[in-house]
Structure 1
Amino acid sequence: MGKDIQDYLDKGLYGSPQLKPDEQRKFLGTFRERVVFILSLSDLTSASYENFAISQFQKYPGGTLLVNALLKPAIQKQLIHLTQTNHVSLKLVDTENTLLADQAIVVVYTLNHAVNKENIELPLQTKFSNTTRDIKKAPTTTKSESFFKSLFSKK
């Protein structure tokens, strides 16, 4: 009987014990095993993240898109539109953070059961599809041209 009273007091003082609280904080309140995909703040700058999200919505229907409430309203509006047009639930999640880092997870698409997907990040070809076009347009210098020559030459 003493253990039951102690458990009751602990629950009253500290709240209900959570399973894997660090993991739940990282994935906006859900477990890693339920995550279909994640997006960081820097991923949202890629124009092709929407196509990736839509393909995952179709492949794994019935999920919920968890969105960090600290995202700018304009980005939240885009995500709301994306979920409404694809019939996906959306939930804004408050976090303990006050600022968002570029690599912080700000969007999580999750199911209510385990999927145990190995790779949950945006594919690299999707992440860098816009930047590769910009790199190709950049002027290149030949190896024989020295640094100082390029600085002082008249063009």
Structure 2
Amino acid sequence: MPKKNVDDYVQKGLYGVQDTKPEERKQFLGTLRERVVVALTQSQVRKTGTVKEVEELMKENPKARLYLNGNMNYTYLCDYMKLADTHHISYRMVTDKENETDLGLVLAYDTAIDKEHIYIEDKEEKRDSKGEEQKESFFSAIWNALNKK
């Protein structure tokens, strides 16, 4: 372990403690990917059907913590906050004006669990192997809409 010097203490005092994996923490509302049970995009949080799935995961993971994107409208988040209160799960509103994330909700532990699949898949929303959202092209969306009728 390297010996700390005065400069290390000055840097820590000026800039604070360095976070591990800062980009990952920005994406997952302040926590790390390895700790996540489930992550919902902002559009999924706005949909009513995902509340039941999150409730089941809260029942299965009572020691997890709920992270909510504070940049979202409160009306979409209040159902999840009520669920967290009902199941005695602590929650935290994370508001970061400098960095944007497409995630609206993260249920995670304080330690690593390394769960492989953390996203709830929508029928029209697909993710690649890195967990990044793949958008349907404009023309394929029109084609799919026309063929559904």
In the superposition, the TM-score normalised over structure 1's length comes to 0.71
Whole-angstrom CA distance in 1 between matches of 2:109 and 2:13: 31
Structure 2: 5+ residue runs without aligned partners?
Answer: 127-143
User: How do residues 6-155 of structure 1 correspond to structure 2 at under 5 angstroms?
Assistant: 6-97=7-98, 104-124=102-122, 140=149
- Partner-residue secondary structure (3-state), 2:111: coil
Q: Percent identity?
A: 27
Query: Does the CA contact (< 8 Å) of 1:83 and 1:90 recur in 2?
Result: yes
Distance 1:84 1:127, change over 3 A: farther
Query: Does the CA contact (< 8 Å) of 1:63 and 1:88 recur in 2?
Result: yes
Cα deviation 1:86-141 (Å, max 9, x = unaligned): 2221111111348x67xx0111001112110011001345979xxxxxx89x873x
Query: Does the CA contact (< 8 Å) of 1:46 and 1:127 recur in 2?
Result: no
Residue identity opposite 1:81 in structure 2: K
Higher relative contact order (CA 8 A, sep 6+): 1
What is the number of equivalent residue pairs in this alignment?
130
Structure 1: 5+ residue runs without aligned partners?
Answer: 129-134, 141-155
Whole-angstrom CA distance in 2 between matches of 1:93 and 1:115: 21
The corresponding residue for 1:132 is none
Distance 1:120 1:8, change over 3 A: same
Query: Which has more radius of gyration?
Result: 1
| Cα RMSD after superposing both structures | 2.8
Residue identity opposite 2:117 in structure 1: N
In the superposition, the TM-score normalised over structure 2's length comes to 0.74
Whole-angstrom CA distance in 1 between matches of 2:54 and 2:45: 11
The corresponding residue for 2:132 is none
Q: Between Structure 1 and Structure 2, which shows a larger proportion of helix residues?
A: 1
